[in-house]
Amino acid sequence: MKNKDSHSHVSGKSVFIDDIPELQGTLHAVPVLSSIAHARILSTDFSEVKKAAGVIAVLSAKDIEGHNQIGGIIPDEPLFAEEEVHFIGQPIAVIIAETHFAAKEARQKVKIEYEAKEVITDPRIAKEKGHLLFPPRTFSNGDTEKGFQESDYVFYGRADSGSQEHLYLETQGSYAIPLENNNIKVYSSTQGPTLVQKTIASVLGLSMHHIEVDVTRLGGAFGGKEDQATPWAVMAALAVKKLKRPVKIILDREDDMIATGKRHPYTSDFKIGLDKNLKINAFEVSYYQNGGAAADLSPAILERTLFHVTNAYFIPNVKATAYSCKTNITPFTAFRGFGGPQAMFVMESAIALAAEKLQVKASEIQSKNLLKEKDEFHYGQICDSNNARLCWDTLNRSFNIRQLEEDIKSFNAKHIFAKKGLAIMPICFGISFTKTSMNQARALVHVYQDGSIGVSTGAIEMGQGVNTKLMQVAASVFSVDISRIKIESTNTTRVANTSPTAASSGADLNGKALLLACQEILSRLKNKAATILDADILDIELKNEIVLVDKNPTKLRWETLIETAFLDRIKLSEVGHYSTPTINFDKSIEKGHPFAYHVYGTAAITVHLNCITGVYEIEDVKIVHDFGQSINLTLDKGQVEGAVVQGIGWVTTEELDWDEQGNLLANTLSKYKVPDIFSAPKSIETIPLKTKGSEMAILKSKAVGEPPFMYGIGAFFALQDAIKAFNKDYSPDFLAPLTPEKVLLALYSK
Ligand code: LUZ
Ligand code: MOS
């Protein structure tokens, strides 16, 4: 089954925030953003703004009747700056005007006097000065000191990975509408409608039940709308409360790029110890996470980094410490992988360094250390499969990697100024929110009198196809045609207290809740059918809209059954509630069983490098991926392909940097190189590994959103492999992204 939105997407009929027909009297908001990275605000003067054509109001901190606070985990971030600003792009006020352009024009008339303070953008400097967003955490197992003593080889290194712009096609936005009795309805392009509802209530000094948040779909998110969609929705709602008129805010791309959070850059120091047989004995790492100016989701992201220290490997002695460093940059936030990719990049760098020093193939070290069933992760969970090995072996066999290596060798021997490189990238990603309490969801199902079905859940459709999967779940329980199912918008009045659609768990959590609701209704229907047909309920089955008794079709069809059940006053609606069983985590000892299950896979990435220009192509990507028992391989393969391309972009061409004043250098699309159709791999082949799936995955179809992102890391090491084929003196460093400029310098470095 295709993504149910595919036709409306390509024909332009899908509705995003800016497509919602505007009510009469709608106003438009544009935020006033700090142009200084760290300063005391001496004065603000909006008098000229207020006089400008079309301007209705300027709202700032003093207009807030509740709390000027939007921090989700730690209350350290005001909606509007008051005395100080801490990053360029920090909101100070919001201008409300008759049109977006009037508000934007008027913004040039804002006068703010600042007294500049010291700007820090480097996490290592922040750490030295003691500027941490929250206390560091350490995960460990075994005894690394002993592990290093017993190692035959010990290597030290550093690995840095860069930031990444989400570049969702639909920028951040919200449309808020006044209802009677001070209630407000808010359309928001958010992954977390409950967070938006809760934050609006708190900032406006209202209760959550005053606020209704509704989401049809997002034009992409990738984590960028888990927390960072909130402030814009709050601004629109604040303006509605003040002005009693509908207010829309849609960020221009440049404002979005400057003001909103991105992937956390990390800089890390590591130490790896191996024995003669290339078994990794011990691994120590210190991660310096650049957290930006406020915590946002950094504590959770830092935690996931600590869970993914060893990627897909078993290491008996591990010690990992992570620091979240406070800098004067827009608060960094969730981005596909959520700190996992940053950890895995360091692990792979350590392996690459050891391979380089020992003159062996990195894949030999990788292969010798893959996780096996019953291995204990450093956080206490027991590995429950040999899928890491299975994926690895299947990749080698199905794609004949040895032959591929030979082909590359002979290509490189034949060409002087063109070289190819290869890297293998295994992955292992834990599925569940690391915060146990977030692993819950609800679904509301109505079977209408005519046999059609309406489904509401807490899941947010953001292009990933979760609504399509939910339709499949409902249709499979009732065994009805998919056209009978409608997925309603995600709305906080229908499904309350939702977790954000994040952590790759949207389909699992909401799908399970939906499954339970449907099963409950189904059992009532079976009961009714048994009465009608004078049969035992245990012999009743519904199949393709027909009731079967003892596997034999009867004359009783779905529509008649529903109609009869309704006339008999049987409850045809149900709420399902699901909370993931088994999982737990004890922060006091940093041990537990935090994940419902893990997703595994292995990729082989081949690159082709022009050694005169440094320009490269990603030639192909071959993957064996653990989907469990996919309920929709079309969607799932699409997720793998998109994630791989996004992962490759992160370590190759997507470069974000800040100057010493804290200005984002790549603040427009002309300065930020996101993968396009030309730089995407020429081919991506994905073989599903046949696994039994997990009982905690929806219909055993494993979560797929984030895990394949990390295959992209392989592109970095494949490029290094190609550089080595050209420049024998090259000594690799581990600074991602490896842009064509950096490749060119590396090709001719001594
Ligand atoms: N969001 C979150 C996430 O709040 N907690 C998580 O563990 C997580 N993991 C991945 C992506 N988003
Ligand atoms: Mo996310 S990084 O919002 O799963």
State residue 666's pLDDT score.
93
Residue 434 CB less than 6 A away from ligand 1 = yes
The string over 472-502, giving b where at least 16 C-beta atoms fall within 10 Å of a residue's C-beta and e elsewhere, is bbbbebbbbeeebbbbbbbbbebbbebbbbb
Task: Say how many Å lie between the CA of residue 439 and the centre of ligand 1.
Answer: 10
Contact yes or no for 658/664 (Cβ under 8 A): yes
Confidence check: pLDDT of 40 > 90: yes
**Going by C-beta distance under 8 Å and a sequence separation of 6 or more, which residues neighbour residue 461?**
5, 216, 217, 218, 467, 487, 490
Task: Say how many Å lie between the CA of residue 595 and the centre of ligand 1.
Answer: 12
The atom number, within ligand 2, closest to the CA of 500 reads 3
Q: 0.95 exceeded by the pTM? A: yes
Residue 307 CB less than 6 A away from ligand 1 = no
C-alpha distances in Å from residue 171, one per residue of 257, 365, 531, 548 = 9, 43, 54, 50
Please state, for a pLDDT cut of 70, what percent of the chain lies above it: 100
Contact yes or no for 257/54 (Cβ under 8 A): no
Residue 431 CB less than 6 A away from ligand 1 = no
Instruction: Give me the amino acid identity at 223.
Output: G
pLDDT per residue as tens digits for the range 57-69: 999 999 999 999 9
pLDDT per residue as tens digits for the range 449-476: 999 999 999 999 999 999 999 999 999 9
The atom number, within ligand 1, closest to the CA of 297 reads 4
Question: Residue whose CA is closest, atom 3 of ligand 2?
Answer: 223
Average pLDDT of span 270-291: 98
The atom number, within ligand 2, closest to the CA of 226 reads 3
Task: Say how many Å lie between the CA of residue 187 and the centre of ligand 2.
Answer: 20
pLDDT grade, residue 382 (50/70/90)?
very high
Averaged pLDDT score across all residues of the chain:
98
State residue 691's pLDDT score.
87
Q: Which of 563, 655, 706, 741 is catalytic?
A: 706
Task: State the ligand closest to the CA atom of 190.
Answer: 2
pLDDT grade, residue 690 (50/70/90)?
confident
Report the chain's C-alpha Rg in angstroms. 27
- Alpha helices, DSSP H, located in 604-651: 633-651
**Going by C-beta distance under 8 Å and a sequence separation of 6 or more, which residues neighbour residue 368?**
277, 278, 279
Tokens of 58: 């300027």
Ligand 2 first shell, C-beta below 6 A: 191, 223, 226, 334-336, 338, 502-504, 706
Contact yes or no for 378/308 (Cβ under 8 A): no
State residue 378's pLDDT score.
98
Whether 706 sits among the annotated catalytic residues: the reply is yes
- Give me the sign of the Cα torsion angle 354, 359, 362, 365: negative
The atom number, within ligand 1, closest to the CA of 434 reads 7
pLDDT per residue as tens digits for the range 209-239: 999 999 999 999 999 999 999 999 999 999 9
The atom number, within ligand 2, closest to the CA of 334 reads 2
pLDDT per residue as tens digits for the range 550-609: 999 999 999 999 999 999 999 999 999 999 999 999 999 999 999 999 999 999 999 999
pLDDT per residue as tens digits for the range 699-742: 999 999 999 999 999 999 999 999 999 999 999 999 999 999 99
Task: State the ligand closest to the CA atom of 229.
Answer: 2
Ligand 1 pocket test: pick from 73, 191, 297, 460 the residue with the most ligand atoms within 8 Å of its Cβ.
297
Residue 55 CB less than 6 A away from ligand 1 = no
Ligand 2 pocket test: pick from 165, 166, 222, 438 the residue with the most ligand atoms within 8 Å of its Cβ.
222
Cis status, amide bond into 426, omega within 30 of 0: no
pLDDT grade, residue 197 (50/70/90)?
very high
pLDDT per residue as tens digits for the range 663-673: 999 999 999 99
Contact yes or no for 116/36 (Cβ under 8 A): yes
pLDDT per residue as tens digits for the range 229-266: 999 999 999 999 999 999 999 999 999 999 999 999 99
Average pLDDT of span 337-356: 98
Strand order of the sheet with strand 597-610? Answer: 418-431, 597-610, 616-625, 683-688
Ligand 1 pocket test: pick from 226, 227, 230 the residue with the most ligand atoms within 8 Å of its Cβ.
226
pLDDT grade, residue 403 (50/70/90)?
very high
Average pLDDT of span 539-555: 98
Ligand 2 pocket test: pick from 218, 336, 704 the residue with the most ligand atoms within 8 Å of its Cβ.
336
Task: Say how many Å lie between the CA of residue 615 and the centre of ligand 2.
Answer: 31
Residue 159 CB less than 6 A away from ligand 1 = no
Residue 371 CB less than 6 A away from ligand 1 = no
